[in-house]
Amino acid sequence: MSGTSTTGTTGTTGILITGIGTALPGVEGPSDLLRAAGLPRDPAAPAVDPAALIGKRGLRYKDRASQLALCAARAALLDAGLLDGEAAADGALTVPGTSVAVVVSSNLGNLDTVCEVADGIRAEGVTGISPMGLPNASSNVIASSVAIRHGLRGPNLMVCNGATSGVDAVHWGAAMLRAGRAQRALVIGVETHNRQVEWLLGRPAGELLDGAVALLLERAPAAAGRGAAGIAALGPYAREAGVEECVRRLLTASGGRPGSWYVPEGHRDASPAALSGVARTDLTERFGSASGALGVLQCATAARGLALPPAGEPGTALVTSGTDRDDASAGMVLLAVEASA
Protein backbone atom coordinates (compact mmCIF):
# COMPACT_ATOMS: atom_id res chain seq x y z
CA MET A 1 0.00 0.00 0.00
CA SER A 2 1.36 3.43 -0.88
CA GLY A 3 1.09 6.37 1.48
CA THR A 4 -1.90 7.79 -0.43
CA SER A 5 -3.77 4.60 -1.22
CA THR A 6 -7.03 3.82 0.54
CA THR A 7 -6.85 0.09 -0.02
CA GLY A 8 -4.44 -2.73 0.60
CA THR A 9 -2.12 -3.66 3.42
CA THR A 10 1.30 -2.60 4.60
CA GLY A 11 3.52 -4.80 6.73
CA THR A 12 5.56 -3.40 9.60
CA THR A 13 7.87 -6.36 10.16
CA GLY A 14 10.73 -5.61 12.50
CA ILE A 15 9.02 -2.78 14.43
CA LEU A 16 8.61 -3.33 18.18
CA ILE A 17 6.72 -1.53 20.91
CA THR A 18 9.33 -1.11 23.65
CA GLY A 19 7.56 1.40 25.89
CA ILE A 20 4.03 2.45 26.86
CA GLY A 21 2.95 5.53 28.79
CA THR A 22 -0.47 6.56 30.07
CA ALA A 23 -2.17 9.66 31.43
CA LEU A 24 -5.68 8.29 31.81
CA PRO A 25 -8.26 8.73 34.59
CA GLY A 26 -8.46 5.66 36.81
CA VAL A 27 -5.37 4.02 35.30
CA GLU A 28 -2.22 3.69 37.39
CA GLY A 29 0.06 2.92 34.45
CA PRO A 30 0.51 0.62 31.44
CA SER A 31 0.30 -2.54 33.55
CA ASP A 32 -3.15 -1.38 34.72
CA LEU A 33 -4.62 -0.99 31.23
CA LEU A 34 -6.09 -4.48 30.95
CA ARG A 35 -7.75 -4.29 34.36
CA ALA A 36 -9.18 -0.86 33.62
CA ALA A 37 -10.39 -1.88 30.17
CA GLY A 38 -12.62 -4.53 31.71
CA LEU A 39 -14.40 -2.12 34.04
CA PRO A 40 -17.39 0.13 33.35
CA ARG A 41 -16.80 3.85 32.97
CA ASP A 42 -16.34 5.57 36.34
CA PRO A 43 -17.67 9.15 36.27
CA ALA A 44 -16.14 9.70 39.72
CA ALA A 45 -12.58 8.86 38.63
CA PRO A 46 -10.39 11.90 39.31
CA ALA A 47 -9.06 13.78 36.32
CA VAL A 48 -5.38 13.41 35.50
CA ASP A 49 -3.27 16.05 37.27
CA PRO A 50 -0.25 16.75 35.02
CA ALA A 51 1.58 18.76 37.68
CA ALA A 52 1.42 15.80 40.06
CA LEU A 53 2.88 13.51 37.40
CA ILE A 54 5.67 15.58 35.89
CA GLY A 55 5.88 18.73 38.01
CA LYS A 56 4.71 22.26 37.27
CA ARG A 57 7.76 23.38 35.33
CA GLY A 58 6.92 24.20 31.73
CA LEU A 59 3.17 23.61 32.09
CA ARG A 60 1.94 27.12 32.87
CA TYR A 61 1.12 28.24 29.33
CA LYS A 62 0.42 24.82 27.85
CA ASP A 63 -3.10 23.80 26.86
CA ARG A 64 -4.61 20.74 28.55
CA ALA A 65 -4.00 18.41 25.59
CA SER A 66 -0.30 19.31 25.48
CA GLN A 67 0.01 18.79 29.23
CA LEU A 68 -1.57 15.34 29.02
CA ALA A 69 0.62 14.41 26.05
CA LEU A 70 3.74 15.45 27.96
CA CYS A 71 2.73 13.15 30.82
CA ALA A 72 2.17 10.13 28.57
CA ALA A 73 5.32 10.86 26.55
CA ARG A 74 7.52 10.96 29.62
CA ALA A 75 6.01 7.74 30.95
CA ALA A 76 6.62 5.94 27.64
CA LEU A 77 10.22 7.14 27.41
CA LEU A 78 10.85 5.95 30.96
CA ASP A 79 9.14 2.63 30.30
CA ALA A 80 11.35 2.11 27.25
CA GLY A 81 14.50 2.98 29.19
CA LEU A 82 15.22 6.05 27.06
CA LEU A 83 15.38 8.52 29.94
CA ASP A 84 18.09 8.54 32.58
CA GLY A 85 16.13 9.96 35.51
CA GLU A 86 13.34 9.51 38.03
CA ALA A 87 9.68 9.67 37.06
CA ALA A 88 9.15 12.99 38.87
CA ALA A 89 11.99 14.85 37.18
CA ASP A 90 13.29 15.32 33.65
CA GLY A 91 16.18 13.07 32.79
CA ALA A 92 18.66 12.97 29.93
CA LEU A 93 18.00 10.84 26.86
CA THR A 94 19.99 7.63 26.74
CA VAL A 95 19.98 7.69 22.91
CA PRO A 96 20.68 10.48 20.40
CA GLY A 97 17.76 12.90 20.10
CA THR A 98 18.01 12.72 16.32
CA SER A 99 17.12 9.02 16.48
CA VAL A 100 13.63 9.65 17.92
CA ALA A 101 10.68 10.89 15.85
CA VAL A 102 7.44 12.22 17.35
CA VAL A 103 3.99 11.49 15.92
CA VAL A 104 0.89 12.81 17.70
CA SER A 105 -2.73 12.03 16.87
CA SER A 106 -5.45 14.42 18.07
CA ASN A 107 -8.49 15.68 16.23
CA LEU A 108 -9.69 18.18 18.84
CA GLY A 109 -6.72 18.72 21.13
CA ASN A 110 -6.28 22.49 20.86
CA LEU A 111 -9.77 23.37 19.60
CA ASP A 112 -10.37 25.43 22.74
CA THR A 113 -7.30 27.59 22.10
CA VAL A 114 -8.19 28.16 18.45
CA CYS A 115 -11.73 29.22 19.42
CA GLU A 116 -10.48 31.50 22.19
CA VAL A 117 -8.01 33.21 19.84
CA ALA A 118 -10.74 33.70 17.22
CA ASP A 119 -13.10 35.10 19.86
CA GLY A 120 -10.39 37.45 21.10
CA ILE A 121 -9.66 38.77 17.63
CA ARG A 122 -13.35 39.33 16.97
CA ALA A 123 -13.90 41.15 20.27
CA GLU A 124 -10.67 43.14 20.65
CA GLY A 125 -8.66 42.77 17.47
CA VAL A 126 -5.14 41.38 17.37
CA THR A 127 -4.11 43.50 20.36
CA GLY A 128 -6.34 41.35 22.54
CA ILE A 129 -4.36 38.16 21.85
CA SER A 130 -2.04 36.86 24.55
CA PRO A 131 1.50 36.36 23.19
CA MET A 132 1.86 33.41 25.57
CA GLY A 133 -1.31 31.67 24.44
CA LEU A 134 -1.13 32.28 20.69
CA PRO A 135 1.52 29.59 19.97
CA ASN A 136 -0.95 27.03 21.32
CA ALA A 137 -3.20 27.74 18.32
CA SER A 138 -0.71 25.97 16.03
CA SER A 139 -2.02 22.61 14.83
CA ASN A 140 1.38 21.07 15.62
CA VAL A 141 1.70 22.48 19.14
CA ILE A 142 1.33 19.13 20.92
CA ALA A 143 3.97 17.30 18.87
CA SER A 144 6.39 20.21 19.01
CA SER A 145 5.93 20.64 22.78
CA VAL A 146 6.86 17.00 23.38
CA ALA A 147 9.88 17.20 21.08
CA ILE A 148 11.19 20.40 22.66
CA ARG A 149 10.71 19.15 26.21
CA HIS A 150 12.75 15.99 25.65
CA GLY A 151 15.13 17.07 22.89
CA LEU A 152 13.65 14.69 20.31
CA ARG A 153 15.05 15.99 17.02
CA GLY A 154 13.82 13.36 14.59
CA PRO A 155 10.85 13.92 12.22
CA ASN A 156 7.85 15.60 13.87
CA LEU A 157 4.32 14.94 12.67
CA MET A 158 0.81 15.84 13.83
CA VAL A 159 -2.00 13.61 12.52
CA CYS A 160 -5.59 14.91 12.54
CA ASN A 161 -7.33 12.31 10.42
CA GLY A 162 -10.75 11.71 11.89
CA ALA A 163 -11.86 8.38 13.34
CA THR A 164 -8.85 6.46 12.01
CA SER A 165 -6.29 9.01 13.16
CA GLY A 166 -4.78 7.00 16.02
CA VAL A 167 -4.16 3.84 13.99
CA ASP A 168 -2.91 5.97 11.11
CA ALA A 169 -0.43 7.67 13.46
CA VAL A 170 0.99 4.32 14.57
CA HIS A 171 1.31 3.33 10.91
CA TRP A 172 3.11 6.53 9.95
CA GLY A 173 5.42 6.24 12.93
CA ALA A 174 6.37 2.76 11.73
CA ALA A 175 6.70 4.02 8.15
CA MET A 176 9.30 6.56 9.28
CA LEU A 177 11.31 3.78 10.86
CA ARG A 178 11.07 1.52 7.82
CA ALA A 179 12.21 4.41 5.63
CA GLY A 180 15.27 4.98 7.81
CA ARG A 181 14.18 8.45 8.92
CA ALA A 182 14.62 7.47 12.58
CA GLN A 183 15.38 4.47 14.77
CA ARG A 184 12.52 5.15 17.17
CA ALA A 185 9.15 6.92 17.08
CA LEU A 186 7.20 8.23 20.04
CA VAL A 187 3.53 7.96 19.02
CA ILE A 188 0.97 9.75 21.19
CA GLY A 189 -2.82 9.83 21.11
CA VAL A 190 -4.52 12.57 23.13
CA GLU A 191 -7.94 14.15 23.42
CA THR A 192 -9.60 16.26 26.08
CA HIS A 193 -13.02 17.73 26.73
CA ASN A 194 -14.06 21.32 27.23
CA ARG A 195 -17.05 23.44 26.30
CA GLN A 196 -15.85 23.89 22.71
CA VAL A 197 -15.39 20.15 22.16
CA GLU A 198 -18.70 19.36 23.85
CA TRP A 199 -20.46 21.89 21.63
CA LEU A 200 -18.86 20.61 18.42
CA LEU A 201 -19.58 16.94 19.14
CA GLY A 202 -22.93 17.51 20.82
CA ARG A 203 -21.91 15.26 23.71
CA PRO A 204 -21.38 15.96 27.42
CA ALA A 205 -17.98 15.78 29.06
CA GLY A 206 -18.88 12.53 30.79
CA GLU A 207 -18.96 10.75 27.42
CA LEU A 208 -15.58 12.03 26.21
CA LEU A 209 -11.99 11.02 26.88
CA ASP A 210 -9.77 13.37 28.85
CA GLY A 211 -6.42 11.66 28.64
CA ALA A 212 -3.42 10.53 26.63
CA VAL A 213 -1.48 7.37 25.84
CA ALA A 214 1.91 6.93 24.19
CA LEU A 215 3.85 4.15 22.46
CA LEU A 216 7.57 3.98 21.86
CA LEU A 217 8.10 2.22 18.52
CA GLU A 218 11.59 0.96 17.79
CA ARG A 219 13.33 -0.88 15.00
CA ALA A 220 14.20 -4.35 16.24
CA PRO A 221 17.97 -3.97 15.60
CA ALA A 222 18.01 -0.66 17.50
CA ALA A 223 16.21 -2.25 20.45
CA ALA A 224 18.56 -5.24 20.43
CA GLY A 225 21.54 -2.92 20.27
CA ARG A 226 20.67 -1.40 23.63
CA GLY A 227 19.38 -4.62 25.18
CA ALA A 228 15.72 -3.58 25.18
CA ALA A 229 12.95 -6.18 25.09
CA GLY A 230 9.84 -5.70 23.00
CA ILE A 231 6.38 -5.66 24.58
CA ALA A 232 4.73 -6.51 21.26
CA ALA A 233 5.45 -6.24 17.54
CA LEU A 234 3.54 -4.42 14.82
CA GLY A 235 2.01 -6.49 12.05
CA PRO A 236 0.11 -5.53 8.88
CA TYR A 237 -1.82 -2.27 8.54
CA ALA A 238 -4.81 -1.65 6.26
CA ARG A 239 -7.11 1.24 5.45
CA GLU A 240 -10.39 0.57 3.65
CA ALA A 241 -13.79 2.13 3.03
CA GLY A 242 -15.51 -0.11 5.59
CA VAL A 243 -14.87 -2.31 8.61
CA GLU A 244 -15.50 -5.71 7.01
CA GLU A 245 -13.17 -5.05 4.07
CA CYS A 246 -10.49 -3.75 6.43
CA VAL A 247 -10.81 -6.83 8.63
CA ARG A 248 -10.77 -9.18 5.63
CA ARG A 249 -7.55 -7.71 4.27
CA LEU A 250 -5.84 -7.81 7.65
CA LEU A 251 -6.80 -11.43 8.26
CA THR A 252 -5.50 -12.37 4.81
CA ALA A 253 -2.24 -10.51 5.39
CA SER A 254 -1.69 -11.95 8.88
CA GLY A 255 -2.66 -15.49 7.94
CA GLY A 256 -5.09 -16.28 10.74
CA ARG A 257 -7.69 -15.18 13.26
CA PRO A 258 -6.60 -12.97 16.15
CA GLY A 259 -7.01 -13.83 19.81
CA SER A 260 -8.78 -10.53 20.47
CA TRP A 261 -10.39 -7.69 18.54
CA TYR A 262 -10.38 -4.08 19.69
CA VAL A 263 -13.40 -2.71 17.87
CA PRO A 264 -14.29 0.79 16.63
CA GLU A 265 -16.50 2.86 18.92
CA GLY A 266 -19.94 1.29 19.30
CA HIS A 267 -19.01 -1.70 17.13
CA ARG A 268 -18.92 -4.49 19.72
CA ASP A 269 -21.95 -6.26 18.25
CA ALA A 270 -20.77 -6.17 14.64
CA SER A 271 -20.50 -9.64 13.20
CA PRO A 272 -17.98 -10.22 10.42
CA ALA A 273 -18.20 -13.98 9.93
CA ALA A 274 -14.42 -14.26 9.96
CA LEU A 275 -14.31 -12.98 13.56
CA SER A 276 -17.18 -15.02 14.98
CA GLY A 277 -16.28 -16.07 18.52
CA VAL A 278 -13.28 -13.74 18.84
CA ALA A 279 -13.25 -11.76 22.10
CA ARG A 280 -14.13 -8.11 21.51
CA THR A 281 -13.32 -4.98 23.47
CA ASP A 282 -14.75 -1.49 22.95
CA LEU A 283 -12.43 0.77 24.93
CA THR A 284 -14.76 3.74 24.52
CA GLU A 285 -17.15 2.02 26.92
CA ARG A 286 -14.50 2.49 29.62
CA PHE A 287 -12.71 5.68 28.61
CA GLY A 288 -15.33 7.58 26.61
CA SER A 289 -15.30 8.61 22.97
CA ALA A 290 -11.59 8.89 22.21
CA SER A 291 -11.53 10.29 18.65
CA GLY A 292 -7.90 10.66 17.55
CA ALA A 293 -6.55 8.92 20.64
CA LEU A 294 -8.51 5.69 20.19
CA GLY A 295 -6.17 3.81 17.87
CA VAL A 296 -3.13 4.50 20.05
CA LEU A 297 -5.08 3.49 23.16
CA GLN A 298 -6.15 0.28 21.42
CA CYS A 299 -2.59 -0.58 20.43
CA ALA A 300 -1.29 0.08 23.94
CA THR A 301 -3.95 -2.11 25.56
CA ALA A 302 -3.53 -4.86 22.98
CA ALA A 303 0.24 -4.83 23.48
CA ARG A 304 -0.14 -5.27 27.23
CA GLY A 305 -2.50 -8.17 26.59
CA LEU A 306 -0.04 -9.83 24.23
CA ALA A 307 2.69 -9.54 26.83
CA LEU A 308 0.52 -11.58 29.22
CA PRO A 309 -1.64 -13.77 26.95
CA PRO A 310 -4.13 -16.35 28.30
CA ALA A 311 -2.92 -19.91 27.92
CA GLY A 312 -3.66 -21.30 24.48
CA GLU A 313 -4.72 -17.96 22.97
CA PRO A 314 -3.28 -16.92 19.59
CA GLY A 315 -0.48 -14.42 20.02
CA THR A 316 -2.12 -11.77 17.86
CA ALA A 317 -4.58 -8.93 18.39
CA LEU A 318 -6.54 -6.88 15.88
CA VAL A 319 -7.27 -3.18 16.38
CA THR A 320 -9.65 -1.21 14.15
CA SER A 321 -10.90 2.37 14.23
CA GLY A 322 -13.50 4.03 12.07
CA THR A 323 -16.83 2.51 11.02
CA ASP A 324 -18.81 2.42 7.79
CA ARG A 325 -20.28 5.80 8.80
CA ASP A 326 -16.83 7.42 8.82
CA ASP A 327 -14.50 8.37 5.97
CA ALA A 328 -12.66 5.07 6.29
CA SER A 329 -11.80 2.19 8.57
CA ALA A 330 -8.18 1.52 9.47
CA GLY A 331 -6.69 -1.36 11.37
CA MET A 332 -3.50 -3.07 12.42
CA VAL A 333 -2.48 -6.49 13.66
CA LEU A 334 -0.24 -6.66 16.72
CA LEU A 335 1.80 -9.76 17.49
CA ALA A 336 3.36 -11.24 20.58
CA VAL A 337 7.12 -10.84 20.35
CA GLU A 338 7.61 -14.61 20.13
CA ALA A 339 5.07 -14.85 17.30
CA SER A 340 6.87 -12.17 15.30
CA ALA A 341 10.30 -13.79 15.55
* The predicted structure's pLDDT at residue 85: 67
Tell me the C-alpha distance between 310 and 64, whole Å: 37
* CA 47, chain centre distance (Å): 19
Fold classified for 16-225: Peroxisomal Thiolase; Chain A, domain 1 (3.40.47)
Tell me the C-alpha distance between 33 and 330, whole Å: 22
Fold match, 16-225 / 232-340: yes
* The predicted structure's pLDDT at residue 8: 52
Buried b / exposed e along 212-228 (16+ C-beta atoms within 10 A): bbbbbbbbbebbeeeeb
Of 177, 15, 184, whose CA–CA distance to 83 is shortest? 184
Of 298, 108, 296, 139, whose CA–CA distance to 208 is shortest? 108
* The predicted structure's pLDDT at residue 98: 97
* The predicted structure's pLDDT at residue 309: 63
Of 65, 267, 73, 252, whose CA–CA distance to 163 is shortest? 267
* The predicted structure's pLDDT at residue 3: 38
Tell me the C-alpha distance between 54 and 62, whole Å: 13
Domain boundaries, the chain: 16-225, 232-340
* The predicted structure's pLDDT at residue 161: 94
| Per-residue pLDDT of the chain in tens (341 residues, 90 and over written 9) | 333 344 455 655 699 999 999 999 999 889 899 888 888 888 888 999 999 999 988 888 899 999 999 999 999 999 999 998 654 456 789 999 999 999 999 999 888 888 888 888 888 887 777 777 777 778 899 999 999 999 999 999 999 999 999 999 999 999 999 999 999 999 999 999 989 988 988 998 888 999 999 999 999 999 999 999 999 999 999 999 999 999 999 999 998 889 999 999 988 777 677 788 888 999 999 999 999 999 999 999 999 999 886 654 568 999 999 999 999 999 999 999 875 55
- CATH class for domain 232-340? alpha beta
Q: Check the CA dihedral 274-277-278-282 and report its sign.
A: positive
Strands in 200-296 per DSSP E:
211-219, 232-240, 260-262, 279-281
* The predicted structure's pLDDT at residue 121: 82
Of 241, 294, 288, whose CA–CA distance to 263 is shortest? 294
